[in-house]
Structure 1
Amino acid sequence: MNNDISTSSSYLDSIRWQEQQVASSEDESDALTQEDFFSLLTQQLSYQDPSNPADNDQMIAQMTSFTMAQGITDLNTNFESLASSMTSNSALQASTLVGKQALLESNTLDLNETGDARGSAVAEEAMDNLKIKVTDESGQLVRTIDMGSQAAGAIRFAWDGNNEAGERLPEGEYTITAEGSTNGEFSSLPVATFKNIESVNINGSSGIIINTKEGAVRLTDVAEIA
């Protein structure tokens, strides 16, 4: 009869593996702890010359240096945690922008099945006889919106999607221009229109990037979210 006891089993092997893993993780720790510092300090005191002991100011300076180093390490850890939390919050806030509209510099206007197409013209000085002109894909002028006299600044406008005859035009992309006169001289104004935000990206160096069909722009370059 064989009385040998086998010590090989999947259960025992799993225990041995866990023990080795714990020991390995402990051995790999190279960080000096407060206990290590006091052990070194104790060794330093035990080997010092009794006739010429260490100065109290030097001992205090060493303890202060260690405390400061530990404090800086803790501060870096806290900053990393804060940065991670801020990134998570930024990603959460950015996700709420999808589906909204961003006011971007553009000379195209998106007309949906229902509702108005809106935008803004920017005048550096007061304008007279300001007109917003809308053309279709073929370049045909379909609507002129008379804005009259306007003060300097951002001038908001809205197009109801109808042509000059009051007929609703098909949805799609239209080109828009703004022209007005100052002291009798006509000039074109830069125009910004609302674009649908299709997606957002979180970029460490550039912050939040919003993506529209016209391309990607930084959130800081967006004049308005609607």
Structure 2
Amino acid sequence: MIDATASTTATASSSSSNALNQLSADYESFLTLLTAQITNQDPLAPMDSTTFVTQLAQLSQVEQTVETNANLEAISAQMGSIASLSGLSLIGRTVTAPGDQVALTGDGAVVPYRLENEAYSVSLSILDENGTVVKVMTGLPTGSGTMQNIGWDGTDQSGNVLPEGVYTAELTALDTDGEPVGYELFGRAEVQRISYNEGLATLELANGTSVLAGYVEVIE
């Protein structure tokens, strides 16, 4: 997992090293040309040294810029490594992130949602892996802008206890005219693994979904 960040660090270091190597080659070419021109100049009409001084100054400025970039890349890589180590602490924690998958355990489940606007009525349906509705909860909170956490005890509409596993949630929110109200569903599940790609942490959750760490809204 940390290897992905290490790879990014190596790539950044390689980029700066290549730039320095190219700059060194330019210096060698410049000195070779300067030596040849001085050796073959007309003693009665010596060349103006101003041009050479200017070119040398420009090469020095480029060298300083490359070295500055190398230092910034090293700092960025170190920060990426720190972020990666920090992300590892999420393993085993419960997080809330966008999604419609519900992880049912022996303790039940929580289905969070947030409405874009005030609604007149809100209901939540729970579907099994076959897409069959096993539970419908009505009379849910209708306020907007706030995350609502709806508890589900893991029973179906008849009160029978359902097996643990992953279910799907569907929300129906309507306004006073019976028109749909926008919403966002969230999955609440334990973090089982973390993978890294180009310095970005992706959380693999117990409800079978994956989400970028930056989209997590709640950590418990």
* Shorter-chain TM-score range: 0.5 to 0.7
Aligned to 1:58: 51
From 168, 174, 192, give the equivalent of 1:181: 174
Distance 1:33 1:167 in 2: 78
Deviation digits for residues 98-120 of structure 1 (CA, Å, limit 9, x no counterpart): 22233233333223333x63232
Q: Residues 44, 105 of structure 1: CA spacing in aligned structure 2 closer, same or farther, 3 A cutoff?
A: same
Counterparts in 2 of 1:101-180, with a 5 A limit? 101-114=94-107, 117-134=109-126, 139=132, 141-142=134-135, 144=137, 146-148=139-141, 150-159=142-151, 161=153, 163=155, 171-180=164-173
Q: Please report how far the alpha carbon of residue 159 of structure 1 lies from its aligned counterpart in structure 2 after TM superposition.
A: 0.8
Deviation digits for residues 78-105 of structure 1 (CA, Å, limit 9, x no counterpart): 2442343233123212212222233233
> RCO higher in 1 or 2 (8 Å CA, sep ≥ 6)?
2
The answer as to whether partners of 2:104 and 2:154 remain within 8 angstroms in 1 is: no
Structure 1 unaligned residues grouped into runs of 5+: 1-28
In our comparison, the structure showing a higher alpha carbon Rg is 1
The answer as to whether partners of 1:118 and 1:156 remain within 8 angstroms in 2 is: no
Give the paired residue count. 195
Aligned to 2:92: 99
The answer as to whether partners of 1:110 and 1:174 remain within 8 angstroms in 2 is: yes
Q: TM-score, normalised by structure 1?
A: 0.64
Counterparts in 2 of 1:9-28, with a 5 A limit? none
Q: Residues 161, 137 of structure 1: CA spacing in aligned structure 2 closer, same or farther, 3 A cutoff?
A: farther
The answer as to whether partners of 1:122 and 1:191 remain within 8 angstroms in 2 is: yes
Structure 2 unaligned residues grouped into runs of 5+: 1-20
Q: Residues 54, 109 of structure 1: CA spacing in aligned structure 2 closer, same or farther, 3 A cutoff?
A: same
Aligned to 1:217: 211
Distance 1:35 1:99 in 2: 56
Aligned to 1:201: 195
The answer as to whether partners of 2:127 and 2:167 remain within 8 angstroms in 1 is: yes
Superposition RMSD on alpha carbons, in Å?
3.9
Aligned to 1:85: 78
The answer as to whether partners of 2:166 and 2:208 remain within 8 angstroms in 1 is: no
Distance 1:190 1:159 in 2: 17
Q: Please report how far the alpha carbon of residue 136 of structure 1 lies from its aligned counterpart in structure 2 after TM superposition.
A: 5.9
Q: TM-score, normalised by structure 2?
A: 0.65
Deviation digits for residues 49-100 of structure 1 (CA, Å, limit 9, x no counterpart): 3322232421320221221232133134324423432331232122122222
Distance 1:101 1:72 in 2: 45
Q: Which amino acid aligns with 2:83?
A: S
State, as a whole percentage, how many aligned pairs show the same letter. 19
Q: Please report how far the alpha carbon of residue 185 of structure 1 lies from its aligned counterpart in structure 2 after TM superposition.
A: 1.0
* Local SS of the residue matching 2:120: strand
Aligned to 2:10: none
